[in-house]
Amino acid sequence: MKKLVCFAIMMAFSLSSFSKIERPKLVVGLVVDQMRWDYLSYYYDKYGEDGFKRLLNEGYSFDNTLINYIPTVTAIGHTSVYTGTVPSLHGIAGNYFVINDKATYCCNDTSVKSIGSNSKEGQMSPRNLLATTIGDVLKISDDFKSKVIGVALKDRAAILPAGHSADAAYWWDTSAGHFVSSSYYMDKLPEWVEKFNKENHTKPKFNIRESNLGVDMTFKMALAALRNEQLGKHDVTDMLTVSISSTDAIGHSYSTRGKENEEVFMTLDKGLSEFLKALDNEVGKGNYLLFLTADHGAAHNYNYMQNHKIPAGGWNYKKTVKELNAHLQEKFGKEKIVMFEDNYQMYLNDSLIASAGIEKEKVVKEAVDFLEQDDDFLYVIDNKHATEAVIPARIKEMLINGYNHKRSGEITVVPRAGYFGVSKPSPDYKGTSHGEWNPYDAHIPFILMGWNVPNGSSNEPTHIVDIAPTICAMLHIQMPNSCIGDAKTVKINH
């Protein structure tokens, strides 16, 4: 009898403990564009105590987080973080890709209009995205009561993370010098956004992305959204997605070393400190779950590396496309069979090839054979037959994950380590790029902090697609509908 009573008490306690699913009041996703994982340590001694150091001292860092697809570019990275899947499934195959032989910008949508300006910079939406995001499944979980808002300077960095059912996404219209949205989300800007734009703007055409002001403006807008939309103050969990774009623009121009890159990361660290303090005050310390990651890393400048006797170089992709087209014209009698190169992929003109009655596989083989003669490339792969390619297993998996047969290019080139595409290689070139499989592009930070997160770190193999299912598991909600990642367990270090 005593055993039965104990069992009944245990069952009652168990049932009562699950009578209400505990969730944080707010989830904040923060993506730092072009942040290499090693910036956490490279700049560590220069960071203040309340920014990145606070994340590391209070949060949990997955130090071995890698991107598991190529190309490693902005639109794909932001999408994969929030969908838990790869371009093969979510359809965002690059910043630009091809749909029906037409070059397509990832978020372009001429069926919508700009809200907040009269330019084309607001004609954007998530309609090219084929998968759901964390925000989408969060909304589904509570019958669309949650608020989900995305903020970034780049349209793709605001739109794709927020997902299909977001309440709003706001991005910077350079031609107007302030934040805008599109008619996909709303008919007019909320009063608080109009007020924000009057008080915070730049001259039209000012390149805010390539300035430290871009970091401050992004955090300022994110906090304005937090306060004016009362995020984290509802009966359900809300979500705010934020992306810092200036780190990418400055990195492209000035590379991974030097005062410009250091200054933007010091600005970011200070802004992060103020942002975390504001979250503490507005939502309550321990009431929000924040994660920080990156969409991709970056290579060191090849002139910098060469000066230190490390093999590196710039691949002139424009020259390669021109020479390849000339070769294919000689073989098949048609001009511009290759429409363009992007994402280290060659995009062929299917319509031209079909109308000429040429067998496409012959064109692809001829192109691959020609490109393989270039010493800049370790491998040249026919993407449709990547499973047959004699290449390292890791690169093969990344290539297959990144290939969307309706949107990607037909051929991928894999340059030598340290070599990356530039429009005009020069001994004076001081910038950088990204997009390749190598650790400098694929190794990214992933840090959790806040609600139910202990301090610690792990070197467990983790991938960018594991971020979404990890967040969803913590929230006790279903993972996004095309998710292939695995939820990671936060283990307390001993």
**259-282 vs 213-228: helix axis angle to the nearest 10?**
10
What is the predicted pLDDT for the residue at 241?
Answer: 99
454 Cβ partners below 8 Å, 6+ apart? 60, 490, 492
Q: Per the structure block, which two tokens stand in for 274?
A: 């103020």
How would you classify the pairing of strands 65-66 and 462-463? parallel
DSSP string, 127-192: TT--S--HHHHHHHHTTT-S-EEEEESSHHHHHHHH-TT-SEEEEEETTTTEEEEETTT-SS--HH
CB 210, CB 248: distance < 8 Å: no
Give the residue numbers annotated as catalytic, written as ranges: 74
Q: How far apart are CA 490 and CA 471, in angstroms?
A: 11
Give the number of other Cβ atoms within 10 Å of residue 400's Cβ.
16
* Average pLDDT of every residue of the chain: 95
CB 226, CB 52: distance < 8 Å: no
Q: At which residue do the structure tokens 């977001």 appear?
A: 166
Q: Backbone phi, then psi, for 240, in 5-degree steps?
A: -125, 120
What is the predicted pLDDT for the residue at 490?
Answer: 85
Model confidence pLDDT, tens digit, residues 390-408: 999 999 999 999 999 999 9
Question: 3-state SS of the chain: helix, strand, coil percent to 5?
Answer: 40, 20, 40
Q: How far apart are CA 136 and CA 239, in angstroms?
A: 10
Residue 243 vs residues 188, 190, 268, 329, 356: alpha-carbon distances, Å: 23, 21, 11, 43, 45
End-to-end CA distance of the chain: 42
200 Cβ partners below 8 Å, 6+ apart? 178, 217, 220, 221
Among 134, 71, 79, CA closest to 395: 71
What is the predicted pLDDT for the residue at 10?
Answer: 38
CB 201, CB 175: distance < 8 Å: no
Three-state secondary structure call for residue 33: coil
Q: At which residue do the structure tokens 């220069």 appear?
A: 46
Residue 370 vs residues 136, 325, 417: alpha-carbon distances, Å: 45, 10, 21
Q: Per the structure block, which two tokens stand in for 37?
A: 């994982």
How would you classify the pairing of strands 288-293 and 26-32? parallel
How would you classify the pairing of strands 148-152 and 238-244? parallel
Q: How far apart are CA 266 and CA 43, in angstroms?
A: 8
Q: At which residue do the structure tokens 């956004």 appear?
A: 193
Q: At which residue do the structure tokens 């390669």 appear?
A: 320
Q: At which residue do the structure tokens 């195959």 appear?
A: 93
Three-state secondary structure call for residue 460: coil
**Which parts of the chain sit beneath pLDDT 70?**
1-19, 492-494
The strand pairing partners of 151, in sequence order, are 170, 242
Phi-psi region of 34 (alpha: psi -120 to 50; beta: other; left: phi over 0): left
Q: How far apart are CA 65 and CA 293, in angstroms?
A: 9
CB 134, CB 149: distance < 8 Å: no
Total-model pTM? 0.95
